[in-house]
């Protein structure tokens, strides 16, 4: 079956929502196909949550359309949400309730009488069901959120910033569960503000910035956006200017000279970078993932230069 004939799981068309002084979103259009692990990335405040909350029926769009499983989400939202599991970015549950009764409540709301999955996932995630919601740490609340989204074996999982605030151990458990659900045939839509997470999980991405979709692509294309931020400290006496560094390190840009050192962004082969760096009179060197905003800056200023 070709992709063109398949009905997209999520399809938004010119979705626009503005509220108060917040920016909101403008003309957001994208579609998520069956089996996709779709990443929705953008810096904080770009409109990721607004888009997701509009899809989930928490916000109502000013204009535009949302279709879920091929049906109109505005008129049939409740019916369609039977097939969706949702984890919001901020996790708040009824404080006085026990974890077990909250999860049972969630199962009842989905009309699921089988409680097996609650036990199964709570064991896998090591979540104590007898605790009270108000006593839970952020990490444990995340576990509750993940389980309540999976109880009813959804066909679509929507996560808003799923791994923020999770420690690495549970993060990997979470990725494991996600892979399991994906193998079961579940389509996954997740938002994130870290590129590396999206890179690890997703096959397609949409990038949103200041309320507008600026790029939708496969993962290979995204790799071109792959950047490293470097910070160098030189041995005393060796004086290097920004121009020198640009000559020494092809692919480096946005270079600023600091006291006794320099920093900037590097796009290209990491091995070539390391080779070049080893030839330099270095006292210390740091390589790290830049923030998304920095990547966009790089991406856009390069584009502008080309014009």
Residue 200 CB, shortest distance to another protein, in Å, is: 26
Of 103 and 195, nearer to another protein (C-beta) is: 103
Q: How far is the CB of 302 from another protein (least distance, A)?
A: 33
Q: Does 77 bind another protein (CB under 8 A)?
A: yes
User: In 33-161, at which residue ranges do the beta strands (DSSP E only) sit?
Assistant: 37-41, 63-68, 71-72, 84-87, 156-160
Q: Check residue 89 and report its DSSP letter.
A: S
Q: Applying CB under 8 A, does 53 fall inside the site for another protein?
A: yes
Q: Which stretch binds another protein (CB under 8 A): 88-96, 227-235, 248-256, 279-287?
A: 88-96
Closest to 287 in 3D by CA, of 226, 241, 213: 226
Question: How far is the C-alpha of 247 from the C-alpha of 29, rounded, in Å?
Answer: 42
Q: For another protein, which is the closer residue by CB, 59 or 287? A: 59
Check binding of 28 to another protein (CB under 8 A).
no
Q: How far apart are the first and last CA of the chain?
A: 41
CA distances from 235 to 232, 280, 287 (A): 10, 9, 18
Q: Using the rule CB under 8 A, is 82 a contact of another protein? A: yes
How far apart CA 200 and CA 178 sit, in angstroms, is 12
- Among the listed residues 90, 167, 176, 269, the single contact to another protein using CB under 8 A: 90
Helix (H, G, I), strand (E, B) or coil at 184: coil
According to the binding rule CB under 8 A, does residue 187 interact with another protein?
A: no
- The residue ranges that bind another protein (CB under 8 A) are 19, 49, 53, 56-60, 77-82, 84, 86, 88-90, 92-96, 105-106, 108-111, 148
């Amino acid at each position: 079956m070709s992709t063109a004939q398949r009905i997209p799981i999520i399809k938004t068309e010119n979705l626009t929502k503005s509220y108060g002084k917040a920016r909101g979103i403008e003309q957001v259009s994208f579609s998520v196909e069956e089996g996709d692990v779709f990443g929705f990335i953008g810096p904080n405040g770009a409109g990721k949550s607004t888009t997701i909350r509009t899809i989930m029926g928490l916000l109502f769009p000013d204009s535009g359309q949302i279709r879920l499983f091929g049906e109109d989400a505005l008129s049939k939202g409740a019916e369609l949400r039977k097939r969706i599991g949702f984890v919001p970015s901020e996790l708040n549950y009824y404080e006085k309730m026990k974890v077990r009764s909250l999860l049972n409540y969630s199962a009842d709301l989905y009309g699921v009488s089988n409680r097996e999955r609650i036990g199964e996932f709570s064991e896998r995630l090591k979540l104590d069901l007898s605790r009270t919601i108000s006593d839970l740490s952020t990490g444990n609340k995340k576990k509750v959120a993940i389980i309540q989204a999976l109880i009813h074996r959804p066909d679509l999982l929507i996560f808003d910033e799923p791994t923020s605030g999770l420690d690495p151990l549970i993060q990997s458990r979470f990725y494991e569960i996600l892979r399991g659900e994906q193998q079961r045939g579940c389509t996954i839509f997740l938002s994130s503000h870290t590129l590396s997470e999206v890179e690890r999980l997703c096959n397609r991405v949409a990038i949103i910035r200041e309320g507008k979709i600026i790029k939708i692509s496969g993962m290979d294309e995204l790799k071109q956006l792959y950047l490293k931020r470097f910070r160098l400290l030189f041995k005393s006496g060796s004086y290097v200017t920004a121009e020198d560094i640009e000559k020494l390190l092809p692919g480096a840009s946005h270079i600023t000279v600091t006291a006794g050192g320099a920093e900037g962004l590097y796009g290209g082969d990491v091995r070539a970078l390391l080779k070049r760096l080893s030839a330099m009179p270095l006292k210390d060197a740091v390589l790290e993932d830049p923030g998304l905003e920095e990547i966009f800056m790089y991406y856009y200023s390069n584009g502008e230069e080309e014009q």
